[in-house]
Amino acid sequence: MSTIIEVAKLAGVSTATVSNVIRSTRVVSSRRTERVRAAIKQLNYSPNEIARSLKVRQTRILAMVLPDITNPFFPELIRGAEDAAFARGYFLVTANTDEQVGRERRIIEAFRSYRVGGILLATAQGRKGPDADHISALIQGGMPVVCLDRTVPNVKTDAVLLDNTGGARECVRHLIKQGYSSIAMVSGPAHLQTAHERFEGYRLALEDAGIPVQQSLIIRGDFRFESGYQAVIKLLKLKKRPDAIFVANGVMAQGALKAIDTLELRCPEDLALATFDHLASEYSHQPELTSVVQPSYDMGSRAGGMLMDRIEGRLQGGYSVIRVAPTLIVRVSSVAKRNVNG
Amino acid sequence: MSTIIEVAKLAGVSTATVSNVIRSTRVVSSRRTERVRAAIKQLNYSPNEIARSLKVRQTRILAMVLPDITNPFFPELIRGAEDAAFARGYFLVTANTDEQVGRERRIIEAFRSYRVGGILLATAQGRKGPDADHISALIQGGMPVVCLDRTVPNVKTDAVLLDNTGGARECVRHLIKQGYSSIAMVSGPAHLQTAHERFEGYRLALEDAGIPVQQSLIIRGDFRFESGYQAVIKLLKLKKRPDAIFVANGVMAQGALKAIDTLELRCPEDLALATFDHLASEYSHQPELTSVVQPSYDMGSRAGGMLMDRIEGRLQGGYSVIRVAPTLIVRVSSVAKRNVNG
DNA sequence: TTGAAAGCGCTAACAC
DNA sequence: GTGTTAGCGCTTTCAA
């Protein structure tokens, strides 16, 4: 790989001139500009960003750290952040922690070492995780960090979060209004903040309506397909079967549909269903599920914007936390109970 | 952010000693080692990989360039490559081109500038794209590149590909054996190599059986949900409706299911279905689709291994191209025609 | 075992 | 408009 010195030599100019042509940092005569361009082409020269970054002490790389790339919610987040980054001349790279805290640690350390401009973090850290010291250290060391979807416990940062509790509450309230009274929930993993908040919404909605929470109607899943399937099989085999189920994420809801199918029941005739996330239009075909839709693309894009603002010093002072509201989309899976067979 | 000089000063040793402690490049007395460790901790020091990379002229970063992160096939590819990378002390980052050639160009140029160790490329470049000069230049410049899933036209590289033609051929042959004779196809975008190859498999299977290919039964989609939906609606409104449809990817197959549902038909009673990709167990619930399953995790992992071998010089000489075979999984959506109503 | 110092490729301050 | 050069933070050779 050729260097700026070789380009300068070939073009018969100084390295400063080559640099100035590349970065347009000061005016260079058109004759020289042309000679430099030609030399660059001839040598197939690519400026060494490593050297440049070392000199200017910053990179225009944004790093996104994600827990589970196979959950369709996250790719949309990537697309949002990516478009925002590109629009402002940044470059987004992504790494996947596979929900493992150790791996997250290692990835963050690597990004820190490479001195990325900032980090978008959807942490694998649980909501009571005691292990967040490295993240505090990171931030105190001056690295701009924006938390996405999930915050890190006991760490103050900018964040873009969803109003999980509000969304779940509205959704369950809707089920109640439709005439359902025995409403089960398939919740997410205990250690995840988002799962906890969604459960809170469920609890509050029941409380609002004066309906007691029944432990037997709450089954914990892990946000994956199989656990949604198993949970609903279990619920539907109860002597006192629920008449509606609220599912804490979209992937588990697909498992729920499969379970209903396996037991040869029908939705909504035998059981109403409502869920977080809207995979339906993209990956599934029937029935149309009532769902709490997260504006994931938008969340990614806003978090990206926030991070770049912070990097560029446009965002001074205290941390800002944005709570984005989800949208409840009512579909056939939760039609009013009295109409089910009408 | 503190530097190695500050650490050295605080520990009362030379920078060489600090470096040797960090990299274990030579033996350092335990007294000094301890002092260095303490200083690192006290200063919250993180070695500057940028400076290191500049000096040693290489990085242990693997870059993966993907066309569509929202297609569930690709995240699995990432996981495979990532696990392979981590196991050998590399670090994988991903960027998404959104199927735009211009964006791909820009991303590759950035990765080149940052002197990543190598690139895993699932190109957005069409199979007849004339625009691959930058990729040839990249490779000639010494950058290790492994093509994944798709090759770049007229460019010689290592590659891990799927036997698309073989997979499609076997699948359609299966449909024929099950007694279907009017078999339609929802194909992928014309410019994509994979789509072309799958169509070839379809064509060959019909040819094998002496069934003429009918243009009216071939509808081109774009690998997305909506196009699968529209294509199947169109096919099912034909006067001479096909009795089976072969769909070129999993996302479109979901659209196909929705179309069948919309027209109040049933699969396989009214129409058999078989498809590339297996989204079924993860995102969908019914009916179980006969599918050509790609070993995507494995493809990612093998491509990653190949790239690291190439980087480390274990893979000398000519380029190697691996063609991975998919697996046909037969499910209820294509039961033998005579049994459909029996 | 340890330290001094050159140099990786670039930018930008300074001089002309 | 243009060139010279110090120095970004690290590794590694050479010398002790």
Quick one: DSSP state of residue B231? H
- Asked if B147 contacts B77 with a C-beta cutoff of 8 angstroms, the reply is no
Q: Could you report the per-residue pLDDT of A7-63, keeping only the tens digit for each?
A: 999 999 999 999 999 999 999 999 999 999 999 999 999 999 999 999 999 999 999
How far is it, in rounded angstroms, from Cα B186 to Cα B240? Answer: 16
User: Which residue, among A220, A72, A205, A288, has the nearest Cα to B70 in the 3D structure?
Assistant: A72
Question: Which pTM was predicted?
Answer: 0.93
CA-CA-CA-CA torsion sign (A254, A256, A259, A264)? negative
The residue type of A66 is L
Q: Which of B75, B82, B91 sits opposite A110 (nearest CB)?
A: B91
In three-state secondary structure terms, A218 is strand
Q: What is the mean pLDDT of residues A319-339?
A: 91
Give, in Å, how far the C1' of C14 lies from the CA of B16.
33
pLDDT band at A316 (very low <50, low <70, confident <90, very high): confident
Q: Which of B142, B225, B284 sits opposite A1 (nearest CB)?
A: B142
Q: Which nucleotides of strand D are protein-proximal, with an atom < 7 A from a CB?
A: 1-5, 7-13
Residue nearest the C1' of C9 (CA based): A51
Name every residue whose Cβ is closer than 8 Å to that of residue A336 and which is 6 or more positions away in sequence.
Answer: A178, A179
Q: What is the mean pLDDT of residues B57-71?
A: 94
| Residue A342: per-residue pLDDT | 46
**Chain B contact for A307 (CB, 8 A cutoff):** no
Residue nearest the C1' of D3 (CA based): A14
CA distances from A222 to A229, A248, B336 (A): 11, 10, 38
Name every residue whose Cβ is closer than 8 Å to that of residue A319 and which is 6 or more positions away in sequence.
Answer: A156, A157, A158, A159
Query: Between these two residues, A187 and A257, which has the higher pLDDT value?
Result: A187
- The count of other CB atoms within 10 Å of the CB of residue A337 is 16
CA A216 to chain centre: 31
**Chain A contact for B208 (CB, 8 A cutoff):** no
Q: Is the pLDDT of residue A286 over 70?
A: no
Report the relative pairing of strands A290-293 and A327-329 from DSSP bridges.
Answer: antiparallel
Q: How far is A95 from chain B (nearest CA, A)?
A: 5
Q: Could you report the per-residue pLDDT of B164-197, keeping only the tens digit for each?
A: 999 999 999 999 999 999 999 999 999 999 999 9
CA angle B124, B130, B133 (to 5 degrees): 85
Residue nearest the C1' of D12 (CA based): B16
Q: Is the pLDDT of residue B248 over 80?
A: yes
Q: What is the mean pLDDT of residues A201-228?
A: 96
How far is it, in rounded angstroms, from Cα B126 to Cα A226? Answer: 37
Q: Could you report the per-residue pLDDT of A268-284, keeping only the tens digit for each?
A: 999 999 999 987 554 55
Q: Is the pLDDT of residue A341 over 60?
A: no
Q: Is the CB of B13 under 7 A from strand C?
A: yes
- The count of other CB atoms within 10 Å of the CB of residue B308 is 24
Q: Is the pLDDT of residue A244 over 50?
A: yes
Residue A140: phi and psi, rounded to 5, are -65, -30
Q: How far is B106 from chain A (nearest CA, A)?
A: 9
| Residue A133: per-residue pLDDT | 84
| Residue B342: per-residue pLDDT | 46
Mean pLDDT of the residues in chain A: 93
Q: What is the mean pLDDT of residues B294-299?
A: 97
How far is it, in rounded angstroms, from Cα A86 to Cα B297? Answer: 29
CA-CA-CA-CA torsion sign (B256, B259, B261, B264)? negative
To test the contact with chain B by mutation, choose from A76, A115, A283, A331 the residue with the greatest count of B C-beta atoms within 10 A, namely: A283
Q: Could you report the per-residue pLDDT of A51-89, keeping only the tens digit for each?
A: 999 999 999 999 999 999 998 899 999 999 999 999 999
Q: Which of A76, A79, A283 sits opposite B279 (nearest CB)?
A: A283
Checking phi first, is residue B94 left (phi over 0); if not, alpha (psi -120 to 50) or beta?
Answer: beta
pLDDT band at B337 (very low <50, low <70, confident <90, very high): confident
- Asked if B158 contacts B315 with a C-beta cutoff of 8 angstroms, the reply is yes
Strand D within 7 Å of which CB atoms in A 37-76?
51, 54-55, 57
Mean pLDDT of the residues in chain B: 93
Q: Could you report the per-residue pLDDT of B75-127, keeping only the tens digit for each?
A: 999 999 999 999 999 999 999 999 999 999 999 999 999 999 999 999 999 88
Q: Could you report the per-residue pLDDT of B251-294, keeping only the tens digit for each?
A: 899 899 889 988 999 999 999 999 999 875 545 556 789 999 99
